Structure 1
């Protein structure tokens, strides 16, 4: 069964992220600007890499266990270094393969080099790729750059570029592994092992990922978010959800324990066993930055949409024909606007306790189809027997502030009092919704 030990998540509800000031003490906080691609709805960030340095655009995937870059498309660098099989770098990457290449040596073509399986989660395709290290520059919140001379990542290939936004050359993986971006940066810069995510809903403005701050986030004018947080465990799926995996490998993705769903405060009847992760790694709820809209197993989806339509009728919302990929749509003229988006029924994902919930207002539940003067419920039918019962997607994440603290994962407590103390302040995930 899935493990809940040493993981916790904190939540705060507000809407439309305005400004965050970060208070750091002795070490740097790194920042990844994130832009939403209007065509693919993917979230894109960038780094500087190689010698000489070049800018590289990457897809943000918090569920991917490592960074990978296309090494077939003019990867030229005098500082790259392949990870030799049985080396400490290969052990850190938890690689179980040793690659050979009969062509002239170059990135992704070296003998006696350990390998991983970079994946494009957009098209669900994995390939083999060498583990290498190279110079990478990351932005600091203070405007300067922090250099990592030997950042570990994997090489991708041209066939993994399909479906990615224009100009994207790989994936920025923030997953729960030893060579995930947060963990590597934590080790290199001796900063707190955590990252915080705030995705913008507008393609014209940046969202951000912060790596390393110790939870000292304040909203202007000086509102400290840490005083308004709820907590729920983060859950480890015991079975890898990647395209290629090995026996005993756990998933690098982030799961949470949804126990029930409410529409306007009323709980729905659903098969709660679907909300649990079984011994085969099937079921549960995960958070995804590569899924544009939340996907639900069919019976859960039907229960939610039925309850939503019933609550919408009470608000005199007028149903209209569906607009793919959505099935539940309404006339824009029949819906009022509020500071938290369209005035529609509120969806609550209850997280274990009735007092802890992820509240989804209209801004994060509805999709506007302007040319048809229609708004649709931004949920997608995931069909029968999907691998994961609920996948919380980008629309529901946007303009929310989420913090994933990996400290307890990396440094398990040695006593019950220490564990309880860390449960109070560590493994956190806050979400902010607007002002």
Structure 2
């Protein structure tokens, strides 16, 4: 039997869905561009928000809880509505407390409103912020091109003060949270337009061309006429029972996406490591998550040492010479004996073995190695210390030119491994509108 709270939330969602999508055109999917900022290595997207609409640049956080934007600096909108205490919006946002603001009323500062903790997950800083609704407009898609813009008239988000932008790329106004919450992007878009609660992300390694995020079902077509959704292998997503955000309430689960890595192989060799670190314990420590805010994969010290030693040994067997470290990387090589292949530098492959030996996420040279100059390339892994919150954080470089589909309803991840082997990249979505 569903509890009365769940029924209230579902009816609230339905109410918000109906009021959100007042349009006869019902998109099957939505699309957003994603660029890579060369100076910070952050992944950025743009939405249109407010009345009149304003382009808003945001850092993409795959595991972020919700949309937050700076409301302190020139937030002007005739359609801004603060969420009143006790409202369905506060309930959906799991907002705690009820506050007054004596410098208002203005966006981010109103009496009798509920608040959450917007989180800059790059700097690990969180603060208090008012929950509100405003208009959000994004492009629909048929999977091949962007189509007409569609509007969610009451998109729930959090205001934040300007200081929370510190550490984010120039020109950014907030962060786009794609995490597993009722007010994350995937749930709100699915609710507004009645499509499946899923999204797919394809980050590009290029700093001059856009990658792509899809909300809703495929196809996910990339030039030259390749439906990347056909390349997916599936593995379960796990919920960490303890929040991994910078600030959270007791009993709140993590909004981030965890997968069940069982072992790691370098080439044919199984890396010897403490496998208990690969599970999430009851305090919420351990496990493997996917992150777009870490530029490179971060591993707990003992895992990092075991993986890098196995990689160095196999590279040496190929006459690949180790050279001095280049920060932030410890393990670097001369490019002299490293051949070039369609899937990146010719180095030993790294396999993350998932629910069975036959299901593995393959990291070829394009995702494992980073060229720091013409003569040196480094293994793009970073030592995360001896007691990190999460044992393995799969970072941005390791997911570039991979299609990842997060299905929140069935709690599974579809992953392609590198698309370079299929002779396409994440920069190959055709962002010119269809005729």
TM-score range, shorter chain: 0.7 to 0.9
**Aligned partner of 1:342 among 342, 345, 357:** 345
Which consecutive unaligned segments of at least 5 residues does structure 2 have? 1-24, 424-435
Equivalent residues in 2 for 1:202-241, closer than 5 Å: 202-213=206-217, 215-218=218-221, 228-241=231-244
Task: Find the residue that maps to 2:304 and give its secondary structure.
Answer: helix
- The CA deviation string for residues 250-272 of structure 1, in whole angstroms up to 9 with x for no partner, is 00000000010000121011000
Partner of 1:414: none
Question: 1:96–1:297: structure 2 CA closer, same or farther, 3 Å change rule?
Answer: same
- The CA deviation string for residues 31-55 of structure 1, in whole angstroms up to 9 with x for no partner, is 1100000000000000111111111
- The CA deviation string for residues 235-294 of structure 1, in whole angstroms up to 9 with x for no partner, is 000000111111111000000000100001210110000000000000000000000000
Partner of 1:11: none
1:429 paired with 2:414, answer yes
Q: Which whole-Å CA distance do the structure 2 matches of 1:187 and 1:246 have between them?
A: 25
Q: Which whole-Å CA distance do the structure 2 matches of 1:242 and 1:69 have between them?
A: 17
Contact 1:108 1:130 in 2 (8 A): yes
Question: 1:195–1:317: structure 2 CA closer, same or farther, 3 Å change rule?
Answer: same
Question: 1:362–1:216: structure 2 CA closer, same or farther, 3 Å change rule?
Answer: same
Partner of 1:189: 193
Partner of 1:407: 409
Higher RCO, Cα 8 Å, sep 6+: 1
Normalization by structure 1: what TM-score? 0.88
Normalization by structure 2: what TM-score? 0.88
Q: Which whole-Å CA distance do the structure 2 matches of 1:430 and 1:230 have between them?
A: 5
Equivalent residues in 2 for 1:272-291, closer than 5 Å: 272-291=275-294
Partner of 2:395: 393
Task: Find the residue that maps to 1:289 and give its secondary structure.
Answer: coil
Partner of 1:255: 258
Contact 1:265 1:348 in 2 (8 A): no
Which consecutive unaligned segments of at least 5 residues does structure 1 have? 1-24, 410-426
1:102 paired with 2:106, answer no
Q: Which whole-Å CA distance do the structure 2 matches of 1:294 and 1:162 have between them?
A: 23
**Aligned partner of 2:384 among 372, 382, 385:** 382
Moved more, 380-389 or 133-142: 133-142
1:30 Cα deviation after fit = 0.6
- The CA deviation string for residues 20-71 of structure 1, in whole angstroms up to 9 with x for no partner, is xxxxx97431111000000000000001111111111000001111000000
Partner of 1:16: none
Task: Find the residue that maps to 1:104 and give its secondary structure.
Answer: coil
Contact 1:322 1:328 in 2 (8 A): yes
- The CA deviation string for residues 314-338 of structure 1, in whole angstroms up to 9 with x for no partner, is 1100110000010000011221111
Task: Find the residue that maps to 1:431 and give its secondary structure.
Answer: strand
1:242 paired with 2:245, answer yes
Q: Which whole-Å CA distance do the structure 1 matches of 2:199 and 2:230 have between them?
A: 19
Partner of 2:433: none
Task: Find the residue that maps to 1:353 and give its secondary structure.
Answer: coil
CA RMSD of aligned residues (A): 1.5
Moved more, 112-121 or 101-110: 101-110
Contact 2:214 2:220 in 1 (8 A): no
**Aligned partner of 1:161 among 138, 158, 165:** 165
The total of aligned residue pairs comes to 392
Partner of 1:146: 150
Question: 1:134–1:228: structure 2 CA closer, same or farther, 3 Å change rule?
Answer: closer
Task: Find the residue that maps to 2:281 and give its secondary structure.
Answer: coil
Structure 1 consecutive aligned stretches of length 4 or more whose deviation exceeds 6 Å = none
Q: Which whole-Å CA distance do the structure 1 matches of 2:200 and 2:404 have between them?
A: 5
